[in-house]
Structure 1
Amino acid sequence: MTDKYRYKSAAAAGVPRPAGPPPSPPPLWSRDFRLFFVARAVAVLGEGMVPVGLAAGLLGDGRPDATVGYALGAWIGTFALLVLFGGVLADRFTARRMMIVADLLRLPGAAVLAVAFTAGSPPLWSVYALSALSGVGAALFQPGVASTIPRIAADVQRANAVLRVVEALMTMAGPALAGLLLVVADVGAVFAVDAATFGVSALCLALMRVPARAYDRARRGSLRAELALGWREFTSRAWLWGVIAIWTGYGLTVAGPMVTLTATVVTGDHGSSAYGLLMAVHGAGNAAGGLLALRLRPRRPLAAGAVALLGLPVNLYLLGTGAPVAWLAAGQFVAGAAFAFWLVMWSTSVQTHVPQEALNRMHAYDVAGSLLMMAAGRALAGPVAEAVGAERVLLTGSGLAVLVVAALLLVRPIRRLGRAPGV
């Protein structure tokens, strides 16, 4: 809760407002936060390079287009299947340790791909296996991100907003850097830099001195018992499971098809260069949304984030009506900003309302549900678009996106969730 709102509540209760200006927010850029900031920046940079490297390496060797999808699918599949276990392990062994293990697991896999593509044409089974190994590492890494932020940052919302901005910038920079390396070197160089990013991330995490908590040393039950306990924590919060339930439907019917059909519609109508431009604009919108979240501190963050999501149906409507590129760019910017603002509000709410000892598992449930439904939505988008037309699917998605916002605002526990005390 910001000081402005704290003063307002105090005044309503008859408590006199303190004299002088509100105190400044606590400093953000501690040593640990700087190290974590660098770790996240380089990790997202490396992640953005991988699809470009896989496409260039496999298609350059004359492999079918489907092999790129299979390689990326091996990553997504193992990640989605194992992320819940990653959440349990992060709660059991601490998030920082599991993230370091995850980076050290993925580094040699990327290095092997670098050598293999430099030496020639690696067998497909090895590419798929190493992609799956990277997915395992991601499943061990991702749950710990949520619980680390409240430990190293006194101002959780500012930390989330800053990280959202740098992640948006690195998401744009990753493919661009990969493209540059393909011009001046080869595919092996792309994966060599990707391997280096894991090394930098692991080093930064190892240098952090995250304070220990009492529950870090608490006795833990079996893996099955910990999963069951996490499920009870999850289902006991109506606002939490309500958002995730709504969001899984959104991923299946709106977000998943939108990713696939944006690529096919824009590329088909305006060419691949226009699609690349629109994705860059979308990334810029993500950064703008993160900057907006640095400034605004609504009393009811999930309600404010839901209202911001009205930018998504605008983008889908423009895509579905065949708008010119300039309007499509405006839609992508608005959608990127809307989603980033929602993501900061959602992440901050989860990190400040869920007990720290269960936070990794809660984040894992969120990621697993969202990712699986988005993957299903992407897979179904093509056949459905062939049957009824891509434009109709996008326009239907625009209407469904409005219904998603309405659902978030109509569910009372979601709409009325306030800021955690002191946030």
Structure 2
Amino acid sequence: MTPPGAPAASLRSRNFVLFFTGRAVAKLGDAMLPLALSAGLIQHGHGPGAIGAALASLTVCLAGFVIFGGVFCDRFNTRALMIGSDLVRVVTQAVMAALFLSGHVVLWQVCAIGAVNGICAGLFQPGVASTVPRVAADVQGANGLIRTAESLAMLLGPALAGALVGAFSPGGVFAAHAGTYLLSALCLALLRLPPAAGCRPAERTGYRADLVEGWREFRARTWMWSVILIWMVYMVTVSGPLVPLTASEIIPADGPGVYGLVNSALGGGTALGGLLALRFRPVLQLRAGSIALLGCCCYPAAVGLGLPPAAMMAAAAMWGVGGGIWSVMWATSVQTQVPGQILNRIHAYEVAGSLAMMPVGQALAGPAAQLLGGRTVLLAGGVIMVGISAALLSVPAIRDLRAVTTRAGAAPSTEPSTGRGDHARDISA
């Protein structure tokens, strides 16, 4: 019998369905944003630089504030903070809709709204990691379903945004985006959650002490900081340049329709990866995820070689499958290996580290393509992707990290057991 307040074993439970719905709908809105913002700014006479600035205002503030969001989530009511972040974004996107519907579009105002949204995302995101284990006992299954839904949202979002822009205007997309945040806030408000394990009264330590403690706990987990260091290289050399360089290679040669099909294949592959991760339950999760990442080398290599569209679509799907499996294994490892009272802060550090190098890779894509050629850079990215997988597998703390069945409890263990005769830890939160 499930103890009172424990997360439900079934993924059909009321709490998980609400959380799953809120995440899926919010991700659908986020997937509509880039197309609506790009189309709207172009319609008002702005170019690629303005689009980049508007998108960067969100990313930079997200990366900058997510660490503070982790501290706030650990000190205060995580759900209330997440609901507040959603409600603020309802207002900002409603203002954005009004700007575009009225035709009064000023770039600095758009960037300022993007910055506020980035701050809200930075306050919201850390709470996701600690909420999943509270709404589902099957953390890996929950992550698999959420990842699948998010992938489908990324697949459908641009198409829905294009339809709304064509039928109404970019302002209509921003109004719909505000609605997705409102629904997300409602779903979170309806959750019935027990008190988070390990929460401490806010007066016991200061903010700086909490930040220092989070950093100390992050550094104490070799498997975690090793992944983040390797991921920073991945962001600069592979992920950051991927979108601008694949677009600049595929669209002129094959047209925007083919580029859309390739991205649809990528989204479909990611959804498939999430579904596979629902059934695939390895004891060594990060080892399995690292091996799955080998499939990601095919996409940049296929575009770099100038293969036919069908081959590029197949390669993009392989990228999606590998990335989908890895993301589920990684999220599950973080949420089950880290004690609840520091999970939000550690998750914030790993998100900040993962995002920090993305703008660098995007900024270097153009100069690298001019110097070496876009296809050469993409081919190099394919080779580097193999090296990323090999680097992850070369670190014992990563490849030998054993799965646990529930989230780690209040007594943290800085390094997990890796012996073949050891049993996976099963510590109640």
TM bucket (normalised to shorter chain) is over 0.9
Q: Map 1:9-408 to 2 at 5 A.
A: 26-219=9-202, 220-408=204-392
Deviation per residue, 1:133-153 (Å, 9 max, x gap): 111111111111111001110
- Report the Cα distance in structure 1 between the residues aligned to 2:74 and 2:318, rounded to whole angstroms: 36
- Report the Cα distance in structure 2 between the residues aligned to 1:67 and 1:181, rounded to whole angstroms: 22
- Percent of pairs identical after alignment? 49
TM-score by length of 1: 0.92
Preserved contact between residue 313 and residue 398 of structure 1 (Cα < 8 Å): yes
Deviation at 1:26, TM superposition (A): 3.1
Amino acid at match of 2:162: G
Preserved contact between residue 253 and residue 400 of structure 1 (Cα < 8 Å): yes
Q: How many residues align?
A: 399
Q: Structure 2: which 5+ residue stretches go unaligned?
A: 1-7, 407-425
Preserved contact between residue 65 and residue 119 of structure 2 (Cα < 8 Å): yes
Q: Structure 1: which 5+ residue stretches go unaligned?
A: 1-24
Deviation at 1:48, TM superposition (A): 0.9
- Report the Cα distance in structure 1 between the residues aligned to 2:236 and 2:15, rounded to whole angstroms: 37
Deviation at 1:214, TM superposition (A): 4.9
1:419 matched to 2:384? The reply is: no
* Runs ≥4 residues deviating over 2 A: 213-220
Deviation per residue, 1:320-361 (Å, 9 max, x gap): 111110100000000001000000001001100011111111
- Report the Cα distance in structure 2 between the residues aligned to 1:27 and 1:253, rounded to whole angstroms: 40
- Report the Cα distance in structure 2 between the residues aligned to 1:109 and 1:316, rounded to whole angstroms: 36
Deviation at 1:105, TM superposition (A): 1.2
Of 274-283 and 313-322, more deviation after overlay is shown by 313-322
Secondary structure at the counterpart of residue 199 of structure 2: helix
Amino acid at match of 1:121: H
Preserved contact between residue 293 and residue 389 of structure 2 (Cα < 8 Å): yes
Preserved contact between residue 285 and residue 335 of structure 1 (Cα < 8 Å): yes
- Report the Cα distance in structure 2 between the residues aligned to 1:215 and 1:313, rounded to whole angstroms: 41
Deviation per residue, 1:102-133 (Å, 9 max, x gap): 10111111001111111113222211111111
Deviation at 1:86, TM superposition (A): 0.8
Deviation per residue, 1:372-423 (Å, 9 max, x gap): 1122111101101100111111111111111111111111111111111458
Preserved contact between residue 94 and residue 216 of structure 1 (Cα < 8 Å): no
- Report the Cα distance in structure 2 between the residues aligned to 1:245 and 1:63, rounded to whole angstroms: 36
- Report the Cα distance in structure 2 between the residues aligned to 1:315 and 1:116, rounded to whole angstroms: 38
Secondary structure at the counterpart of residue 46 of structure 2: coil
- Report the Cα distance in structure 2 between the residues aligned to 1:306 and 1:115, rounded to whole angstroms: 45
Identify the residue that residue 6 of structure 1 maps to in structure 2.
Answer: none
Identify the residue that residue 17 of structure 1 maps to in structure 2.
Answer: none
